[in-house]
Structure 1
Amino acid sequence: MPTKSKVVVGMSGGVDSSVAAYLLQQQGYDVIGVTLKFWSDSCLARSHEKCCGPQSISDARLVAHRLGIPHFILDEAEAFEEEVISPFVEQYRRGLTPNPCALCNEKMKFGRLPRKASAWGAEYVATGHYARIERSERETRLKKAKDERKDQTYFLFRLERKTLDRMLTPLGDYSKEEVRDLARQAGLSIWDKEESQGICFIPGNQYETFLAERLGSGKEAAGEIVDLTGKLLGHHRGIESYTVGQRRGLPGGQGKPLYVVDIDPEKQRIVAGPWEALHRTHCYLIDTNWQQPVPMGPLPVTAKVRYNYPAAPAQLTLLPGRRARIDFVHPQAGVAPGQAAVCYIDDLLLGGGWIERTADSPRWETAP
């Protein structure tokens, strides 16, 4: 690495991004800290503290001052609303389960920061993600973090190969405990800052309140809850309060626990069934993105259908039109349309796509 190569570090005010900046500085990089402001002042006045709100910006600025690096704030509130929040709300309206974090990484963090880095003559862009970058003369590869409990490659599957070439992830070889210890040793005041949970733009994880503000609520949002045969079990106040695999909010007294098996936006209907009905033998992906070459024929992989699910053995088959099919070796539960399905070979991230709602088979097809 040439001495004093310039790198732009996305600093959220949290422990991870702060230590990322510290480590890169220790490695000899010329570090520039940047915080993306996602919220207008009027939004913040109506809600609780949010990601990259005043406190987060203040924390990032204090860390930058401690490290002696320049710090800038980029107001991206309008773009965040258009490219992350609006699609999130629209997908819930359509009965899908969105993944805004993957979209935010693609559109905002690794969409906006590289442009600013280029304007400033910076060679690299870095964040506090737990992932590893492996470089050779021929290619750049994104691999799982050493600590798989914290691995965040699932949220990075949308990144293009050219983005990986300019990307640094200095936390990939550390555990969360080690990162906190580094922050403490470096004298960073945020070393014991509480880790954020859930989606950053939904205060207190109050999904229903947030979506009601965006979508409205009333009789037109209500609908039926039915079982697999179409028998009426009860009613709901809006499909946006449900996701595939959920138990909360379903009628009891059925002899066994019920789970959301499907969401039908056209009829505003929730389909509920037993645990067994959640399992799928396969799923289809749309709008796929592959960071590594993938052959057309079936390829053995491991696939994650949600971030907090373990990767499961499967076969990946590419299809025309940036689609793909994943066939699971063992049927998987909670395969939710709208969520991301991400594929790996060992610890190498191949890429993935969004799980498609298909019309070529029953929506609540169960495993044989």
Structure 2
Amino acid sequence: MALDRTSDLNSLGFAKPPAETRVVVAMSGGVDSSVVAAMLAEEGYDVVGVTLQLYDHGAALAKKGACCAGLDIHDARRVAEEMGFPHYVLDYENIFRDAVIDEFADSYLAGATPVPCIRCNERVKFKDLLETARDLDADCMATGHYIQRKMGAAGAELHSAADAARDQSYFLFSTTPEQLSFLRFPLGHLASKAETRALAAKYGLPVADKPDSQDICFVPNGNYASVIEKLRPGAAEPGEIVDTSGRVLGHHEGVIHYTIGQRRGLGIGGLSDPLYVVRLDVDARRVVVGPKELLATRQVPVREINWLGEGAFTDQPEREISVKVRSTRPPREAILRPVSDTEAVVELLTPEEGVSPGQACVFYETGGTRILGGGWIWKGGA
């Protein structure tokens, strides 16, 4: 007899025993996804581990602190062997370059501050990898992301992780309702990373003490400019550092070395007040600097919006929400005013500093944990 009561659903939400539920686990080789795979294997699920080779890891075998390198593939394989489930490595280098790396380079050259991890989730992990999971006849795909999936009146909803310090909702705003119906995030309810490491030790995983990854996988040591120069030779052309009136204060070796809000490393000492990068004029190869108050932004134009709230995005002329314009900042109160199905203007009730084109603007339910979607900041705000 088929199970049809909520209490009879397994931990992944299916009305059948775990042994009859196939789940593909996206394994990066780190402790988070390894714990997810081990946890589900111990519960008796039909686990299949998949690790993506996203770039040429031959030169990165000894690099620590970055995901997706050769050592990480080896670690994922070891976990699968320990827990006794199959593991596959898929070569996604070409897909990753076309969908993520090339846009990262072009956006950076255009003066934006891109977030490639969001594009990777959107265009690779939750698109191509998710389709691969379907091809493997999986019932769902699980990841080690710290975010919660909860069932609401209209279906699956995205909610912030229980541990605010580990919450990854900023990087997952572009997850579509269709993708969300297939995805599972077993770590989102944990109170701390210490709990995850305790589980890794419990399962005897070889990665239990492995450090967290810090860098973007193809950007060693966080040096964006060096990667751009390799991807786009000749991109670092010298130019002038000017104030907002156009007065030349110094010279630089390439706009790609600067980001909005930057203060250090400008090389224009001797001034009485500190100056910040307030604009990048790529065409004129100029870095424009000014006082901190010029960084304050209230009106933020957003496009490529993915809406996860109730009803159609344009149903209401405006909504009171909270937003994040940087992953490291807490949500701030704002007014969301749709311009079209995929564009809007976000009015920040308290101005934010350092709002930059290329960053994401993520929408949250005011006073709650639900993620309502988000979009991309596409030009300087006001």
TM-score range, shorter chain: over 0.9
Alignment partner of 1:146 out of 158, 162, 168: 162
- Residue number among 233, 241, 253 corresponding to 1:225 in the alignment: 241
On the 8 A contact 1:217/1:238 being kept in 2, the answer is: no
1:320 aligned residue (340, 359, 364): 340
Amino acid at match of 2:253: R
Which residue in the other structure is 1:349 paired with? Answer: 371
**1:86 counterpart residue number:** 102
Q: Distance in 2 between matches of 1:297 and 1:328?
A: 16
Matched-pair contact (CA < 8 Å) for 2:67–2:216:
no
Asked if structure 1 preserves the Cα contact closer than 8 Å seen for 2:63 and 2:69, the reply is: no
Q: Deviation of residue 321 (structure 1)?
A: 5.4
Q: What is the aligned partner in structure 2 of residue 161 from structure 1? A: 177
Query: In structure 1, how many angstroms separate the alpha carbons of the residues matched to 2:282 and 2:260?
Result: 13
Q: 1:70 aligns with which of 86, 107, 118?
A: 86
TM score, norm. by length of structure 2: 0.90
The answer on 1:36 being equivalent to 2:58 is no
Do the aligned partners of 1:51 and 1:200 also contact (CA within 8 Å) in 2? Answer: yes
Instruction: Report the Cα distance in structure 2 between the residues aligned to 1:26 and 1:171, rounded to whole angstroms.
Output: 15
Is the 2:57–2:70 Cα contact (8 Å) retained in structure 1?
no
1:204 aligned residue (211, 218, 221): 221
RMSD over aligned CA atoms reads: 1.7
Aligned-partner residue type, residue 151 of structure 1: D
Q: Tell me the alpha carbon deviations over residues 8-27 of structure 1, each in whole angstroms, 9 at most, x when there is no partner.
A: 00001100110111222234
Give the whole-Å Cα distance in 2 for the aligned partners of 1:20 and 1:317. Answer: 39
Indicate the residue corresponding to 1:334 in structure 2: 354
> What is the match of residue 246 of structure 1?
262
* Alignment match of 2:322 (pick from 282, 290, 302): 302
Mapped contact 2:69–2:217 kept (Cα < 8 A): no
CA separation in 2, counterparts of 1:200 and 1:40? 11
Q: Which of 132, 142, 148 does residue 126 from structure 1 map onto? A: 142
Secondary structure in structure 2 of the residue aligned to 1:254 = coil
1:87-106 to 2 correspondence within 5 Å? Answer: 87-106=103-122
Separation of aligned partners in 2, 1:101 and 1:185: 30
Mapped to 2, the partners of 1:48 and 1:184 lie a distance apart of 24
Aligned identity (percent) is: 41
Partner of 2:208: 191
Deviation (angstroms), 1:44: 4.6
Does 2:236 align with 1:214? Answer: no
State the match for 2:5 in structure 1: none
Contact 1:22–1:67 under 8 Å retained in 2: yes
Query: Please, which runs of 5 or more residues in structure 2 have no aligned partner?
Result: 1-9, 11-15
For residue 300 of structure 2, the aligned residue among 269, 276, 283 is: 283
Contact 1:8 1:124 survives alignment (8 Å): yes
- Unaligned 5+ segments in structure 1 are none
- Residue 230 of structure 1 and its aligned partner are, at CA, apart by 1.5
The Cα shift of 1:43 comes to 5.7
Shift of 1:249: 2.3
Query: Is it true that 1:259 corresponds to 2:253 in the alignment?
Result: no
Contact 1:280 1:331 in 2 (8 A): yes
- Cα pair 1:8 1:113 within 8 Å, conserved: no
Give the alignment partner of residue 23 of structure 1, picking from 39, 56, 61: 39
For 1:143-200, what per-residue CA distance to the aligned partner results, in whole angstroms no more than 9, with x for missing partners? 0000011000110011111000011000001111110111011100111101111211
Displacement of 1:239 = 1.0
Match of 1:74, SS state, is strand
Q: Which amino acid aligns with 1:128?
A: G
Q: Are 2:204 and 1:181 equivalent residues in the alignment?
A: no
Normalising by the residue count of structure 1, what TM-score does the alignment of the two structures yield? 0.93
Instruction: Report the Cα distance in structure 1 between the residues aligned to 2:57 and 2:181, rounded to whole angstroms.
Output: 35
Q: CA–CA distance in 2 between the matches of 1:86 and 1:233?
A: 33
Alignment length, in residue pairs? 358
Paired AA for residue 195 in structure 2:
E
